Structures are given as C-alpha cells and as structure tokens.
Amino acid sequence: MSITSLDNTFVASTYGRFPIELSHGKGAKLVDTNGKEYIDMGTGIAVNLFGVCDDEWNAAVKAQLDKLAHTSNLYYTEPCAKLAEILCARTGMKKVFFSNSGAEANECAIKTARRYSFKKYGDGRSTIVTLKQSFHGRTITTLAATGQDSFHTEFGPFTEGFVYADANDINSVITLAEENNACAVMMELVQGEGGVMKLDEAFVTAVADFCNKNDILLIIDEVQTGNGRTGSLYAYEQFGIIPDIVSTAKGLGGGLPIGATMFGTKTDDVLTPGSHGSTFGGNPVCCAGAYNIISRIDDKLLSDVKAKSEYIFNELGSADGIKSVSGMGLMIGLETEKDAKEIVALCREKGVLVLTAKTKVRLLPPLNITMEELTKAVNVIKECIK
Ligand SMILES: *Cc1c(COP(=O)(O)O)cnc(C)c1O
C-alpha cells in the first residue's frame, strides 16, 4: 500500500491532508516522495523556525540524543535548566513550566491563574475572559477557552468559567470581567487561527491597565506569535505590556514538541511541588533543540524578519486579487478575491506550500528563508491570486 492509503486506512481521520507525501528537505525547501520540490511558506504551522534539517539545530538535538533522551522530572538535567534560564533572561519573566504542546502550555496558564486567585481571594473568582475568534487549543478546557462557537458543540460538557469578549472592545472586556468576577484575561496578540488578526495597540494596553488595577492576571498566548515570529522574541514586547503569564510552544521547539508557560513576579510561586506536572515536560532532547532556537533569535534575525515582512506586505498589498494583508512579522494573512482553498491548491501545483486561516491564505515562512526563495514564493503567490 502507498503511504497515502496506509495513512487513510490506519490513522484516525482527524485531518484534511493535502495530497502530498513529504519526504525530506533543507531549510525552506521540502521534497515529496516523487522528487517534486516546494518552497515551504507554512513551516509545519509556525514550528520549523529555521526550516527543516537545520544544521545547528540538528547538531544540538543529536548531541543530546547521544547523552540521554529522557529522565522524568524526578531528576535535574542541564538542557531544561539552561532553557529556563535563557527564557527568563531574554524576557524578564521569573520562572518557566515546561510541557509538550500549546494546549498544555495554556492549561498550565489557566490552572495557575485559578490557583493564584483561589489562594488570595477564595472560591468564586475563577472565570477567565478570552476573546471571540481566539484559538487556545484542542483539550476540553482549551476548547472552552477558545472563543468560537463552532468549537463548542459535540464534545460537551465543556469546562466552565470562560466568557468571550469582543476583540478591540475594552468595554466588552471590562463588563464581562466585572460581571463574572474574573481572575484573568487570556488573549493572543495576533489571532492566528481566527484569521491572522492583529489586535489594536490601544486595546491591548487598556486591557493590561485594567488587569493591573484589578489584580486580574493577564495571560498572553504566544503559542503562534512567539519565538521571533512577529519580529520580536515575543509579540507582547511590541505592545509595551508586561503579562503575568506567557504561554508558548510551536516555534520554540523548532521541530520537536515542547510547550512553555512563563510566570512573572506575581505568579512565579503559585505552582508548588505536586500541584502540576508532565512526564515528558522539560525533555532533554526537546530542550536542547529549543535552547539552540532561542539563542539564535538575536537582533540581526529579528530585523531580517521585519524586513522580509515589509517586503511581503509591500509586494502583496498592491497585488491583483488582494483585498487586504494582515498580521505582523512573518505571520501574515491574505484576504483574497478568489477562494483561499483554491489558491492553496494552485500554489501547491506551482511548488509553493501555503496555509489557510478561516477564509484567508496564511503565510508562516521560516524566519531565515533566503530573499531568493521568498521572492520566488511571492511571485508564485501573485500569479495564483490574480
Ligand atoms: C496552535 C495554537 C495552540 C495549540 O497548540 P498545540 O500545540 O496544537 O496544542 C494554542 N494557541 C494558539 C494561539 C495556537 O496558535
């Protein structure tokens, strides 16, 4: 049987896969089992920050693999400790909890917010305000946190204690937080799955002010926006706010599964021994790869990300068939006259892999994509959208 038929027969049918069997690649180049080459503008959904088969990341992962792969959290290991240190040093956050995915990083953020509030104020102050069109994960609780009705059917009952405010409407956040005696507000600064919508800066600072004045924790979900993707190490830096909790995953691993929940001064001692955990959390191999990724997100790379972003906004903003370009850094949404799915298929035929987000075409190229590859990809996209 072919790979495709084996997969269709034996892998649970939860994904609408594109009709390609990927085999290998280098950087932004992917090759399928027929030998056809593609320029990757999706990076495994914002995961492969430096593309695939990156020499430095591979070396870091292999070196750790040759020492030990897993220990459980009963023991100390260097990669986990060093990754936590560099994350805190680069962000000003105080402590980090490691897990294995974005959903788990958000679960930890939610548990921490509720425990913080319970310890200080007792029962009844557990609601978390999230935003409409948000996406926070696929577990029952993070689905409940996700502010899209379409995610709230069939799998009920869902976790209680989430209410959904309108994005960019501060009064909606304040009213819901006050009515429900909220303990936290959780949001993405660029709503990825919701259509690559960047929040207004004035709204974000108003939410941060309101949270700060009322001892409501501000949780920023940087699972997709984080790790250099938007042109700063974390997107919140560009909004001039200091969150109480930051969750991240995707690009942090550079290709291996890892989630991280970072705690600021208010929340760094909320979790205590036994209160939370994960068997694989802080896995040495994943952490060694992630350390390599974070240590390479420097000013030079970030200014390249911004320059490439400007290039895409300029080239595609005025292209035939485009209605609007949204997003931040190398997390970009294209509102097109043609159907987004049709554009994805056309681009694929012409050797460029792009994604969708709601009704938009979504671009998440490797941060180190060469200008030559990017120019090629943008030209193909221009052809396909007009
Ligand atoms: C992808 C994503 C998640 C879920 O991450 P998983 O690793 O798939 O669990 C959560 N929040 C945001 C903003 C995401 O983009």
Q: Give the DSSP letter string of 270-298.
A: TS-TTSS--SSTT-HHHHHHHHHHHHH--
Report pLDDT for 353. 98
- pLDDT of 82 reads 98
Rg (CA), the chain: 21
Q: Which residues contact 297 (CB under 8 A, 6 or more apart)?
A: 49, 227, 228, 233, 367
Q: List the one residue out of 236, 238, 199, 205 whose CA is nearest residue 220.
A: 236
**Shared-domain flag, residues 188 and 223:** yes
Whether residue 325 sits in one domain with residue 253: no
Question: Does residue 360 have its Cβ closer than 6 Å to ligand 1?
Answer: no
Same domain, yes or no: 277 and 316 = no
Ligand 1: atom nearest CA of 137 is 4
Task: Give the total number of structural domains in the chain.
Answer: 2
Q: Which residues of the chain have pLDDT under 50?
A: none
Strand-by-strand arrangement of the 29-32 sheet: 22-26, 29-32, 37-40, 352-353
Query: How does pLDDT run across 137-189, given as a tens digit for each residue?
Result: 999 999 999 999 999 999 999 999 999 999 999 999 999 999 999 999 999 99
- Same domain for 337 and 243: no
pLDDT at position 320, please? 97
- Could you tell me if the CB of 253 is within 6 A of ligand 1? no
**Residue 288 and residue 156 in one domain:** yes
- CB-CB contact of 220 with 205 (8 Å): no
Q: Is the CB of 254 under 6 A from ligand 1?
A: no
pLDDT at residue number 186:
98
Residue ending a domain, choose from 271, 296, 321? 296
Among the candidates 296, 323, 357, a domain finishes at 296
Domain endpoint, select from 256, 279, 296: 296
Strand-pair category, 162-165 with 127-131:
parallel
Work out the burial of residue 166: count CB atoms within 10 Å of its CB; fewer than 13 is exposed, 13-18 middle, 19 or more buried.
Answer: middle
Same domain, 36 and 101: no
pLDDT at 288: 98
Question: Using a 6 Å cutoff on CB, does residue 112 contact ligand 1?
Answer: no
Per-residue confidence (pLDDT) for residue 278, from 0 to 100:
98
Ligand 1 centroid to residue 135 C-alpha, Å: 7
- Which is nearest to 221 in space by CA: 229, 84, 311, 9? 229
Do residue 201 and residue 350 come from a single domain?
no
Pair (262, 138) in one structural domain: yes
Q: What is the pLDDT of residue 15?
A: 96
- Whole-number pLDDT of residue 260: 99
Residue-level pLDDT at 61: 98
285 and 303 co-located in one domain: no
- What single-letter DSSP state applies at residue 253? T
Domain range for 266? 57-296
pLDDT value at residue 345: 98
Same-domain check for residues 80 and 227? yes
The domain that holds 377 is classified in CATH as 3.90.1150.10
pLDDT at position 206:
98
Does 186 lie in the same domain as 320? no
pLDDT tens-digit readout, 26-44: 999 999 999 999 999 999 9
Question: In this structure, are 31 and 101 located in the same domain?
Answer: no
Rounded to the nearest whole angstrom, what is the distance from the C-alpha of residue 100 to the centroid of ligand 1?
11
Specify the pLDDT at position 146. 98
Whether the CB of 136 sits within 6 Å of ligand 1: yes
Find the CATH number of the domain harbouring 85.
3.40.640.10
